[in-house]
Amino acid sequence: MEQASINVAGRQPSARTASQGIDWRVIIVSTVGNALEWFDFTVFSFFASVIAKQFFPSENPTAAILATWTTFGVGFLTRPLGGIVIGNLADRRGRKSALLVTISVMAVGVAVITFAPTYAQAGLAAPIFMLVGRFLQGFSAGGEVGSATAFLVEHAPVERRGLYGSFQMIAQACSMVLGAAVSVGITEMLTPEQISAFGWRIPFAIGLLIVPVGLYVRSRLSESPVYLDARHTAPPVKRAPFLESLVSHWRLVLAGFGMTIYGTIGTYLFYYYMPSYATGSLGLSFKSGVTASLFAAFAYIAGTLFSGAISDRIGRKKPMVASALISLLTAYPLFRLVGTMPTLVVLTFVQCWLMFVLGLFQGAYCAFVCELFPARVRATSLAIGYNFAVMIFGGFAGAVATMLISWTGEKMSVVYYGMFGAAVGLITVLCLKERARQPLL
């Protein structure tokens, strides 16, 4: 049997030690699906106005944009279902099996969006195709986060769990950079008419190229040693992992939910929504919005990597508390600044600051949330808290922001949503015990 497969004789692969260095194979396997997911989300958000015209024609531009962001959010409705179904598979059959399923389903969803006919070509069937693609993406993404994060952190040395976990968020950020770069490149090379006709599909087609690589590397790596150890030594879970999580670990699931609220609102509001905010509320060009987001992604990477590494030394709570507190105190004056001085330079500064600060929270998040749960229900428990928070607060952040501006007539109103997320994240982390450098349950 290949070295990458699980030993059928029952011997488990030993956990990696810090002296052996970073296992990049594990990081690639764990993050490739997440990277594809966030690349597509980035592209979708940047071309939201174009997609709105192609699939949701309307005399009211606000209504078309709102319909597009709602479709974007609909994919998040299937996230909890995917988290429960695939999380159950990950906790009962192994992380590896679950990861192969998620990337396969994700590929189908991306393909549907890539080749979906427009409203002019298929009428009402066009938005239905888009909805189906987003549903499949949401289902796979819901199962991906719990399984992949558990797989990644369980492979990490105890003294590097924060650093390993941060790469899950760094993969998202790298996808933000790649998605933004591709979007900028397309806007530079193609005319607006060409972008509307076919250009917006190019990034989704590029995303499909990741799938064969993901399937190959995921099929060849070994199962999580922590999961195998728990499977051999821990008492079996009599109930389904979903029920066990809600009955025996509901407080911790709620804690994961609370921590995710800040991260998901911050990501979708301060990054994905900003190109639309720049054009619709600040009067800047679409190119300016995308360019600012590109720089903000690099700031997010820096904050995330720093936080993940430092959390292995000082604990998870300190950088996470600092992040939420700083965001809570600075978000309003920064939005006020860009509202009174709507230039590319100011927008870039504001986004870079907010995303760097958010990275300080996200870098320690993955390790912290994995440390809350025992291995036999870790993937499911993590997925439940994460996906319900993303579904409720993150996926519809763009729609919420658009409605807030429409209802209040005040472009500053969107910042209150971000401040709410920071407050919830701060309170949640303060209520939890530190578990850095302790053995996983």
How do residues 375-431 score in pLDDT, each as one tens digit? 889 999 999 999 999 988 987 787 788 788 878 878 888 889 999 999 999 999 999
CA atoms within 13 A on the CB side of 4: 10
pLDDT at 72 over 80: no
Q: Residue 150 domain-assigned?
A: yes
Contact 109, 211 (CB under 8 A): no
Would you state the structure tokens that stand for residue 243, as one six-digit string? 């029920």
Residue corresponding to tokens 């949330």:
369
Average pLDDT of 304-330? Answer: 96
Question: Which pLDDT score, from 0 to 100, does residue 218 have?
Answer: 87
pTM recorded for the entire structure: 0.84
The pLDDT tens digits for 115-128 are 988 877 887 788 88
Read off the tokens for 169: 């968020």
Length of the chain: 441
Under DSSP, the state recorded for 436 is: T
Whether 59 shows a pLDDT value over 70: the answer reads: no
Q: Which of 184, 170, 130 is nearest to 38 (CA)?
A: 170
Q: Is residue 386 domain-resident? A: yes
Is 276 a member of any domain?
yes
Q: Residue 399: its pLDDT value, please?
A: 76
* Residue 298's pLDDT band (cuts 50, 70, 90): very high
pLDDT attached to residue 84: 93
Assigned token pair, 48? 């939201």
Token pair listed for 9: 């004789």
Residue 232 lies in a domain: no
Domain total of the chain:
1
Show the domain range for 395: 24-222+241-431
| DSSP codes of every residue in 356-391 | HHHHHHHHHHHHHHHTTS-GGGHHHHHHHHHHHHII
Distance CA 353, CA 330 (A): 9
Q: Is residue 422 part of a domain?
A: yes
Distance CA 354, CA 54 (A): 32
Phi and psi angles of residue 298, each rounded to the nearest 5 degrees, phi first = -65, -40
**Residue 164 belongs to some domain of the structure:** yes
Q: Decide if 29 is inside a domain.
A: yes
Q: What is the pLDDT averaged over residues 186-194?
A: 86
CA 261 to chain centroid, in Å, comes to 12
Contact 327, 303 (CB under 8 A): no
Q: Name the DSSP class of 272.
A: I
Query: Which CATH number characterizes residue 341's domain?
Result: 1.20.1250.20
Q: Supply angle C-alpha 220, 175, 87, rounded to 5.
A: 50
Q: How confident is the model at residue 312 (pLDDT cuts 50, 70, 90)?
A: very high
Q: Among residues 217, 160, 211, 208, which one has the least CA distance to residue 30? A: 217
Among 324, 370, 380, smallest CA distance to 165 is for: 370
Task: Evaluate whether 385 touches 256 at the Cβ level (below 8 Å).
Answer: yes
Give, in degrees to the nearest 5, the angle at Cα 397 between 323 and 51: 130
| Distance between CA atoms of residues 316 and 308, nearest Å | 8
DSSP for residue 8: T
Say which amino acid occupies 174. Answer: C
The whole-angstrom separation of Cα 242 and Cα 263 is 23
Structural domain includes residue 234: no
